[in-house]
């Protein structure tokens, strides 16, 4: 049965003003660089989200950036479903920066954050498709002089079976564009979905990304453009005292060398402007710069973590609590300062453990970059743009213009994992600052700022380091009498455009989200200490706070299961008795992994282990079973990960599976090797030899099982990442009896990788659990 919906935000709809170039795929160089589009009265633009051309092309406009998570495919699926379009005719292009038309209500601005895209788009994108369909049907009915009720639409073909008339969308666009908008449209019953939930639907961006034509910011070249490489200080906050560019200027192809001003949240430095990237890089290498470090910060990650350990011994701010006060007070009794301790008090068992996670870089494959052109009317920016509204405001403030004068063209992002949504617009403002400095020297041309891998890795804005100290009382019946979790670490939301929404009474909700998990506990108390004087620039990283709260929570749950001498699966299952949805996900993962049957024995004396973790974030619940082997030589191999995910109605099963595989891989990488360290204010890592990434031979088989559901869809971009670290260390415990409470699992991996860089001969999966 159809449901009727009134169209929201009618003011955002445009009809009759026919702009744009039909059939232009996102990322096409000419589209990105094209002048103002010409009016074309045959193109049909029923609303802000779709354009239909006379060639039958259906161009879906995505307010969200495609950075690998499959959002272009997801949004197009929603719209094409209700339009009954032929998937082969569907293309997607990135929306311009325009908060009046393209805000994501979940974050109150235009941007792509926190796995909210599908949640927010589910209704409006389907309505947009249904509206376009209704107008095409009305146009056909008018032309054919028949009732619209007798018209069917399937795979882009509009038919009137009674009269035998049929045509494709393109023949009706001009007529449809002249019709008044419908007051309301009908949406399909989910039982009628053909594209939504279809596992055979392929990604919209696959074609361009497999022939070299997909356009990333790094690839963009505009007439007259200069490439800028900037020398940054090695310590955050330092500024240029003096510099000598004589040698740089002597290099053929170096056009100019300009110092540029920085800000509280982005680098100042010296930029070399050149006709190509390599010359700019050579020019930068030839600079001699004396830095003024009087205002520079000198954070040291080892000292920071040592301080956090001390802070975790004292109460923090109460962030969340529930349940019995008496049990809470029992849990807050003073305990020994050891990393983990267990003691019996009467017939309850007291357990206390401390967990630590380091700073992490996002390290997307495409290092940060941004193209800026100052214009008479303001400026144009081309970027793998993830936070349009905030970036417009930042750039406008720097140049003393209005946000509307900042045009942003959204290109593909070569990964991001959160980095391109910088809360302070760091690299974007650096590019604007350089463009301004260049213009002052007479170079009023497009400027493409390129960060090298080292610039990117040393550029700050890391996932903050955290220490968690959890103290729990286990009742004799295996239930959790109390749980007190102290969390210590920097706030990523304070000072960000999301501060008002995320920080309440000094508690950054993103620092504690997910702590304690979905489990039944008779009393729960989450305390937070947020040091405000740590000078390491931090930022959200794939799955934000869940990336560390899941680790601490799911490790502790496993420790409690062991203390209760209960199977970790059954222990969790009991605690989820009141949470059928989460328990069903747990059951699915356990069943698919064959949890109740013993693992096949390892070969050559290898000890095998299986670990479980479950975590829910932003509405999506994921349970993982990790299967590992620890060889006689104490080498760790991750053999298989079984994943169960409930993300509501699955929109693109193929994308969901890919995001689980990728999210698990990204978290595996961080669990095994990831750590940014700072020594006296200098970031120690600069490239993939020091910040070891996951490589093919260390990637386990990953079996993904999607829970069937009719609930509204929720996101999948972040949610695969949080549970893998605890699943892994829980598996190591199962195999060896050794608890690993500090990530990464083996810091010594870097040394072994540095010894054999980049080759398959190196074995980054080699790890000695006993040594950590």
Partner 1 sequence: MRTFTVNGQSVSVDVPDEMPLLWVLRDELDLTGTKYACDKALCGACTVQVDGRPVRACVTAVAAVDGKTVTTIEGITTDAAGHAVPAGSAVQEAWRRLDVVQCGYCQSGQMVAAVSLLQTNPHPSDADIDAAMSATLCRCATYVRIRATIHDAAKVLAA
Which of 307, 309, 453, 573 is close enough to bind partner 1 by CB under 8 A? Answer: 453
How many angstroms separate the CA atoms of 485 and 588, rounded?
A: 29
CA distances 97 to 368, 383, 450, Å, are 19, 11, 22
Q: Is the CB of 183 or the CB of 696 nearer to partner 1? A: 696
Per DSSP, the three-state class of 385 is coil
Which residues ranging from 725 to 764 are in contact with partner 1 (CB under 8 A)? 757-760
For the beta sheet containing 406-410, the strands, ordered from the edge strand earlier in sequence to the opposite edge, are 254-260, 269-274, 226-231, 447-450, 369-375, 378-383, 406-410
Q: Choose between 404 and 689: whose C-beta lies nearer to partner 1.
A: 689
Q: Which of 486, 669, 683, 741 binds partner 1 (CB under 8 A)?
A: 669
Minimum distance of partner 1 from residue 506's CB (angstroms): 34
Please tell me whether residue 504 binds partner 1 under the rule CB under 8 A.
no
Least distance (Å) between residue 760 CB and partner 1: 4
CB of 759 to partner 1, least distance (A): 6
DSSP state of 744: S
Q: Is residue 243 close enough to count as binding partner 1 by CB under 8 A?
A: no
88 binds partner 1 (CB under 8 A): no
Decide: is 35 part of the binding site for partner 1 (CB under 8 A). Answer: no
In contact, 501 and 508? CB cutoff 8 Å: no
Q: Residue 215 Cβ, how far from partner 1 at the closest point, in Å?
A: 8
Show contacts with partner 1 in window 353-412 (CB under 8 A).
363-367, 412
Q: Which residue among 184, 276, 288, 295 contacts partner 1 (CB under 8 A)?
A: 276
Q: Which is nearer to partner 1, 207 or 241 (CB)?
A: 207
- Token digits of residue 492: 């990523």
Residues 603-642 that bind partner 1 (CB under 8 A): none
**Phi, psi angles (nearest 5°) of residue 389:** -65, -45
Contacts (Cβ under 8 Å, ≥6 apart) of 338: 352
Among the listed residues 145, 183, 210, 533, the single contact to partner 1 using CB under 8 A: 210
Query: 405-439 burial by CB neighbour count: b if 16+ within 10 A, else e?
Result: bbbbbbbbbbbbbbbbbbbbbbbbbbbbbbbbbbb
Q: What DSSP line would sit under 750-761, residue for residue?
A: HHHHHHSTTSTT
Cβ atoms of residues 755 and 630 within 8 Å = no
Interface residues for partner 1 in 647-666 (CB under 8 A)?
Answer: 654, 658, 661-662, 664-666
For residue 391, the minimal CB distance to partner 1 (Å) is 19
630's enclosing H/E stretch is: strand 620-630
**Minimum distance of partner 1 from residue 278's CB (angstroms):** 4
Q: How far is the CB of 456 from partner 1 (least distance, A)?
A: 9
Of the ranges 397-405, 463-471, 630-638, 687-695, which one interacts with partner 1 (CB under 8 A)? 687-695
Residues 302, 742: Cα–Cα separation, whole Å: 13
Q: How far apart are CB 202 and partner 1 at their closest, in Å?
A: 5
Gap between the Cα atoms of 698 and 604, Å rounded = 19
Residue with tokens 């639409």: 153
Q: Between residues 194 and 640, which has the closer beta carbon with respect to partner 1?
A: 640
The answer to the question of residue 694 lying near partner 1 (CB under 8 A) is yes
Q: How far is the CB of 771 from partner 1 (least distance, A)?
A: 24
Could you check whether the bond before residue 744 is cis, i.e. omega within 30 degrees of 0? yes
DSSP string, 679-714: ETTEES--STTTSPPP-GGGPPEEEEEEPP--SPP-
Provide the token pair at 603: 């070969």
Phi-psi region of 11 (alpha: psi -120 to 50; beta: other; left: phi over 0): alpha
Smallest gap from Cβ 481 to partner 1, in A, equals 40
Provide the pairing of β-strand 58-62 with 90-94.
Answer: parallel
Q: Which residue of 5, 166, 592, 695 would you call a contact of partner 1, by CB under 8 A?
A: 695
Q: How far apart are CA 346 and CA 331, in angstroms?
A: 14
| The only residue of 143, 184, 213, 321 in contact with partner 1, by rule CB under 8 A | 213
Give the count of beta carbons closer than 10 Å to the beta carbon of residue 583.
Answer: 20
- Does residue 674 belong to the site contacting partner 1 (CB under 8 A)? no
**Binding residue for partner 1 (CB under 8 A) from 71, 151, 480, 668?**
668
Tell which one of 688, 736, 752, 768 touches partner 1 (CB under 8 A). Answer: 688
Contact between 452 and partner 1 by CB under 8 A: the answer reads yes
Give the nearer residue to partner 1 in terms of CB position, either 521 or 694: 694
C-alpha–C-alpha distance, residues 356 and 724, integer Å: 15
Which residues here bind partner 1, judged by CB under 8 A? 66-70, 202-203, 205-216, 218-219, 221, 227, 276-278, 363-367, 412-417, 452-454, 654, 658, 661-662, 664-666, 668-669, 687-689, 693-697, 699, 701-702, 757-760
């Amino acid at each position: 049965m159809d449901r009727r919906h009134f169209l929201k935000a009618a003011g955002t709809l445009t009809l009759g003003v026919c702009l744009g170039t039909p059939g232009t795929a996102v990322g096409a160089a000419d589209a990105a660089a094209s002048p103002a589009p010409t009016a074309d009265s045959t193109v049909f633009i029923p609303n802000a989200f779709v354009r239909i051309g006379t060639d039958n092309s259906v161009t879906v406009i995505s307010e969200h950036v495609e950075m690998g998570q499959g959002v272009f495919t997801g949004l197009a699926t929603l719209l094409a479903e209700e339009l009954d379009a032929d998937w082969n005719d569907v293309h997607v292009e990135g929306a311009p920066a325009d908060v009046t038309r393209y805000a994501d209500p979940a974050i109150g601005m235009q941007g792509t954050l926190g796995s909210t895209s599908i949640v927010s788009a589910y209704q409006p994108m389907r309505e947009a498709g249904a509206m376009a369909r209704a107008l095409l049907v009305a146009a056909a009915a008018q032309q054919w002089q028949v009732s619209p009720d007798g018209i069917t639409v399937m795979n882009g073909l509009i038919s009137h079976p009674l009269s035998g008339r049929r045509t494709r969308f393109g023949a009706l666009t001009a007529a449809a564009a002249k019709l008044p908008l419908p007051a309301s449209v009908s949406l399909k019953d989910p039982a009628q979905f053909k594209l939504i939930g279809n596992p055979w639907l392929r990604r919209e961006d696959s074609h361009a990304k497999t022939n070299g034509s997909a356009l990333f910011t790094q690839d963009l070249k505009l007439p007259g453009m200069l490439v800028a490489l900037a020398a940054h200080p090695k310590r955050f906050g330092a500024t240029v005292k003096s510099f000598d560019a004589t040698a740089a200027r002597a290099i053929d192809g170096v056009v100019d060398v300009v110092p540029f001003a920085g800000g509280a949240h982005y680098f100042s430095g010296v930029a070399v402007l050149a006709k190509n990237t390599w010359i700019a890089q050579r020019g930068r290498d030839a600079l001699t710069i004396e830095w003024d470090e009087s205002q520079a910060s000198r954070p040291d990650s080892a000292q920071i973590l040592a301080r956090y350990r001390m802070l975790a011994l004292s109460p923090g701010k109460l962030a969340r609590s529930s349940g019995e006060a008496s049990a809470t007070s029992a849990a807050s009794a003073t305990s020994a300062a050891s990393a983990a301790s267990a003691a019996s008090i009467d017939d309850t068992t007291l357990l206390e453990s401390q967990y630590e996670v380091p700073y992490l870089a996002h390290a997307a494959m495409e290092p940060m970059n941004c193209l800026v052109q100052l214009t008479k009317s303001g400026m144009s920016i081309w970027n793998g743009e993830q936070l349009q509204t905030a970036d417009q405001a930042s750039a406008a403030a720097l140049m003393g213009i209005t946000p509307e004068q900042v045009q942003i063209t959204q290109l593909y992002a070569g990964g991001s994992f959160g980095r391109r949504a910088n809360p302070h617009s760091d690299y974007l403002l650096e590019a604007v600052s350089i463009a301004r400095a260049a213009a002052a020297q007479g170079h009023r041309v497009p400027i493409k700022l390129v960060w090298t891998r080292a610039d990117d890795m040393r550029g700050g804005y890391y996932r903050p380091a955290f220490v968690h100290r959890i103290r729990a009382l286990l009742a004799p019946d295996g239930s959790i009498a109390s749980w007190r979790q102290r969390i210590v670490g920097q706030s990523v939301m304070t000072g960000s455009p999301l501060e008002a929404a995320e920080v309440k009474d000094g508690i950054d909700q993103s620092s504690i989200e997910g702590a304690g998990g979905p489990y039944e506990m008779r009393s729960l108390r989450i305390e937070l200490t947020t040091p405000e004087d740590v000078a390491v620039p931090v930022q959200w990283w794939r799955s934000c706070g869940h990336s560390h709260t899941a680790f601490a929570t799911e490790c502790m749950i496993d420790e409690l299961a062991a203390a209760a001498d209960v199977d970790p699966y059954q222990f969790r299952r009991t605690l989820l008795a009141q949470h059928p949805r989460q328990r069903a996900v747990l059951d699915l993962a356990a069943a698919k992994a064959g949890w109740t049957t013993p693992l096949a024995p390892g070969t050559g004396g290898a000890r095998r282990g299986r670990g479980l973790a479950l975590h829910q974030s932003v509405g999506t619940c994921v349970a993982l079973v990790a299967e590992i082997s620890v060889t006689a030589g104490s080498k760790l191999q991750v053999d298989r990960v079984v994943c169960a995910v409930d993300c509501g109605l699955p929109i693109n099963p193929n994308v969901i599976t890919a995001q689980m595989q990728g999210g698990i891989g990204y978290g595996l990488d961080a669990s095994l090797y990831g750590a940014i360290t700072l020594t006296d204010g200098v970031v120690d890592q600069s490239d993939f030899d020091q910040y070891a990434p996951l490589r093919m031979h260390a990637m386990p088989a990953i079996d993904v099982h999607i829970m069937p559901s009719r609930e509204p869809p929720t996101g999948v971009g972040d949610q695969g990442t949080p549970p893998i670290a605890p699943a892994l260390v829980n598996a190591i415990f199962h195999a060896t009896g050794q608890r690993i409470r500090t990530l990464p699992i083996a810091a010594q991996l870097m040394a072994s990788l540095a010894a054999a860089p980049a080759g398959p001969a190196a074995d980054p999966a080699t790890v000695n659990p006993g040594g950590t």
